[in-house]
């Protein structure tokens, strides 16, 4: 078990990623809203050729019994903004159920140093947006996997639709204007960007690739 060194969901995830030793990392909320039985679908997407399997509540066979109208509207607007700014095709930007190969973690460039009580960049609920945008910028193969969000079983949400929404909005503008130099970190370079695949059944259509040193 590892302990986070600062406050916030993003820092907890970053510290966990840094200590992970398996080939595949699955990130999901610990409040009981995510169904662990969906993990094989995410793993199947990765084994079929994706670098990053992105959960979505808003594709066929996905859904949510927990999201409020305000959060749904905010997610939709932020989703539209990101897709417009970076040319992505996400359907569920802020959902936290994702899986990826451990070898792509350096691409996310998450800060795990500097212990302290204050949140730093990426330490909060903006973490999903930051990871998703950096995955696109680095040219990772992304597959969207249908996921159903159940009512939370444990705890009370710390998400504030307004303050955390502004953190996500700031993340979007900072990341969309960031230099494309980090794209050189892409593990699987390609000449043309690949569209996000819809659902695990479409991942097999992804082109073959060779791992570079």
pLDDT at 10: 73
Q: Of 10, 173, 152, 192, which is closest to residue 78 (Cα–Cα)? A: 173
Q: Where are the domains of the chain?
A: 9-204
Which segments of the chain have a pLDDT < 50? 179-213
Q: Give the separation between CA 212 and CA 182, rounded to whole angstroms.
A: 16
Query: Whole-prediction pTM value?
Result: 0.75
pLDDT at 15: 84
pLDDT at 104: 94
Which CATH code is given to the segment(s) 9-204?
Answer: 3.90.550.10
Strands 24-27 and 98-101: antiparallel
Q: Give the separation between CA 162 and CA 68, rounded to whole angstroms.
A: 13
């Amino acid at each position: 078990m590892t302990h986070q060194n600062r406050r916030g969901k993003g820092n907890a995830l970053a510290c966990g990623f840094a200590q992970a030793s398996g080939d595949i990392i699955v990130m999901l909320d610990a409040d009981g809203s995510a169904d662990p039985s969906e993990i094989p679908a995410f793993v199947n997407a990765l084994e079929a050729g994706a670098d990053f399997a992105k959960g979505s509540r808003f594709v066929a066979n996905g859904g949510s019994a927990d999201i409020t109208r305000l959060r749904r509207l905010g997610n939709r607007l932020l989703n539209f903004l990101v897709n417009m700014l970076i040319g992505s095709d996400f359907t569920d930007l802020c959902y936290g159920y994702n899986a990826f190969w451990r070898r792509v973690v350096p691409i996310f460039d998450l800060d795990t140093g500097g212990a302290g009580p204050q949140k730093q960049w990426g330490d909060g609920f903006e973490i999903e947006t930051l990871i998703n945008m950096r995955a696109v910028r680095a040219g990772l193969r992304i597959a969207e996997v249908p996921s159903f969000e159940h009512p939370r079983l444990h705890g009370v949400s710390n998400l504030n639709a307004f303050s955390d929404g502004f953190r996500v909005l700031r993340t979007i503008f900072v990341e969309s204007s960031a230099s494309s130099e980090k794209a050189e970190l892409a593990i699987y370079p390609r000449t043309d960007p690949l569209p996000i695949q819809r659902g695990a059944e479409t991942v097999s259509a992804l082109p073959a690739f060779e791992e570079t040193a």
